[in-house]
Amino acid sequence: MPFGNTHNNFKLNYKVEDEYPDLSKHNNHMAKVLTKEMYGKIRDRQTPSGYTVDDVIQTGIDNPGHPFIMTVGCVAGDEESYEVFKELLDPVISDRHNGYKPTDKHKTDLNFENLKGGDDLDPNYVLSSRVRTGRSIKGFTLPPHNSRGERRAIEKLSVEALTSLDGEFKGKYYPLKSMTDAEQEQLINDHFLFDKPVSPLLTCAGMARDWPDGRGIMHNDNKTFLVWVNEEDHLRVISMQQGGNMREVFKRFCVGLQKIEEIFKKHNHGFMWNEHLGYILTCPSNLGTGLRGGVHVKLPKLSTHAKFDEILTRLRLQKRGTGGVDTASVGGVFDISNADRLGSSEVAQVQLVVDGVKLMVEMEKKLEKGEAIDSMIPAQK
C-alpha cells in the first residue's frame, strides 16, 4: 500500500534507467504504454497538489496482471492528473476506450425516457438489475491522494446533501466507523456495501488509507438507491433491485443523480466534468459516463459455450463474478454489464445491456432445449 512514499526527493539523483520500473512481466494498460523515454520525460513533474507519475503508476507496478480483466494500472490523484500526465494517460485512455482520441468529445445523456424497453427481462434468469456511476467533487483531490481533512470535508458535504433528499430517495447515512459488524455484514451480503479494502488493485493505489475514517453509505428506506462515500471515488451512486426491470432501475438512477447534482451545485461544489473526458473519476476506465449498468443473470449453459466470450465482445458487454470486479462467478450466475464508459452516453450504454441481456437469455433457453444458437449470434455493435 504505497502512497506517500512516491515523493522521495532523492530519486532524481538516479538515472532514468535506474528508476524506471521493471514491467517485463506485466499485462496492464500502463505497462503497455509507459516506455522508458516517456518515464524520463515526465518523472519530475507534479500536479499542483503534488501528485507524481510514480503515484499514478504504483498500482500498475504492484499488480502485474489480473486473471479476469485487463486492468488499467494507473490512477489519477486529482483532476489535473489527466492534464499534467497526458502523455501517459491519453494513450492509456485511447487503448482502454476503443481508440478515443485526445480531440474527441463525450456526450452525456441522463434522460431516462430515451431508453427503449428494458422492463421485461425474464426474472427466472435475471436475478437483479443495477446501475452505478461515480462522481468526483471539484476542489478536492481524489481517493488515492486525498488527506484525511479533505476526505472528511467530502463526507460532511455529502451527508448534508444526501440527507436532504425526499420522496423515494429519503434515507439515512451510515458512517462505516459507527456501523456494527453485523450491520456491515448484512449490507455486504445484500450487495449494498463496499468491501473492506482487500483488493490489491485498490490498496496499492493508496485508497485504503485511514480506513474507515470518512467512509460511509447512504441508502433510501427501500434500499433501492444507495450512495457510497469515499471508496474508490468520492461518490458512487447506485440504483438496484431484484428482478429484471432495468427500466425502473435506470429511471430511479437518473432522477436521483440529477437531484444530487443540483444540491452539490448549490453548495458551490460541482462535479468534475469536461467536454472531452466527461465525468472525471479516479480510474481512467471510468471516465465518460462512469456508468456500469448490469444484471446478475443465470447463464450456466451459455457461459460454457465456446462462443460466449465472443458474443459478449460483439454485444459490447463484460462479465464478472457476482462478488465484484475481481471475483469469479459462482454457480453459473454472472454479472453482465456494459464494457464501455467513454464515447457513448448513459442511455446508449444501458440500451446495450438491456438488448444484449435479452438476447443472451433467449440463447440460454435455446441451449436448455438442446437447440443451436448459431443463427442468433449478433453482429459487432
Partner 1 sequence: MSDNIENIELLGTIGIFVSTPDSNSPQIRQQGSAMPFGNTHNKAKMNYDSDQEYPDLSKHNNHMAKILTPAMYERLRSKETPSGFTLDDIIQTGIDNPGHPFIMTVGCVAGDEETYEVFKELLDPVIEDRHGGYKPSDKHKTDIDPANLKGGDDLDPDYVLSSRVRTGRSVRGFCLPPHCSRGERRAVEKLSIEALASLTGDLNGKYYALKNMTDAEQQQLIDDHFLFDKPVSPLLLASGMGRDWPDARGIWHNDNKTFLVWVNEEDHLRVISMQKGGNMKEVFNRFCTGLTKIETLFKERNHAFMWNEHLGYVLTCPSNLGTGLRAGVHVKLPNMSKNAKFEDVLKKLRLQKRGTGGVDTAAVGGVFDISNADRLGFSEVELVQMVVDGVKLLVDMEKKLEKGQSIDDIMPAQK
Name the binding residues: 128-132, 191, 236, 292-296, 320-325
What x/- string results for residues 245 through 284 when contact with partner 1 is judged by CB under 8 A?
----------------------------------------
Half-sphere exposure of 148 (CA within 13 A, CB side): 5
d(CA 219, CA 181): 18
Q: Which three cell numbers stand for residue 228?
A: 457510497
> Residue from 19, 104, 168, 362 that binds partner 1 (CB under 8 A)?
19
- What is the footprint of partner 1 within residues 76-105 (CB under 8 A)? 79-80, 83-84
Q: Is the peptide bond before 212 cis (omega within 30 degrees of 0)?
A: yes
Terminal C-alpha separation, the chain:
39
Q: Is 62 helix (H, G, I), strand (E, B) or coil?
A: helix
| Angstrom distance (rounded) from CA 222 to CA 183 | 16
Q: What is the grid cell recorded at 43?
A: 518523472
Count CB atoms within 10 A of the CB of residue 246.
30
Q: Considering Cα of 284, then 285, then 288, then 292, what sign does the dihedral take?
A: negative
211 is a site residue for partner 1 (CB under 8 A): yes
Residue with the three cell numbers 488493485: 201
CB of 201 to partner 1, least distance (A): 14
Q: Which is nearer to partner 1, 123 or 149 (CB)?
A: 149
Interface pick for partner 1 out of 36, 37, 50, 101 (rule CB under 8 A): 50
215: contact with partner 1 by CB under 8 A: no
- Based on CB atoms, which residue is closest to partner 1, 22 or 374? 22
Is 49 a residue that touches partner 1 (CB under 8 A)?
yes
DSSP string for 89-112: HHHHHHHHTTT--TT--------G
- Shortest distance (Å) from residue 87 CB to partner 1: 12
Among 71, 141, 158, 282, binds partner 1 (CB under 8 A): 141
The yes or no reply on residue 153 touching partner 1 (CB under 8 A) is yes
Q: Which is nearer to partner 1, 1 or 188 (CB)?
A: 1
46 binds partner 1 (CB under 8 A): yes
Quick one: 92 or 205, whose CB is closer to partner 1? 205
- Beta strand 317-320 pairing with 225-229: unpaired
Q: Does residue 203 touch partner 1 according to CB under 8 A?
A: yes
Candidates 120-128, 210-218, 241-249, 264-272: pick the segment binding partner 1 (CB under 8 A): 210-218
- How many residues bind partner 1, per CB under 8 A? 53
Compute how many other C-beta atoms are within 10 angstroms of the C-beta atom of residue 100. Answer: 21
Task: Decide: 295 and 246 in contact? Cβ < 8 Å.
Answer: yes
Binding site for partner 1 (CB under 8 A): 1-15, 18-22, 44-50, 54, 58, 61-62, 79-80, 83-84, 140-141, 145-150, 152-153, 177, 203-204, 208-211, 213
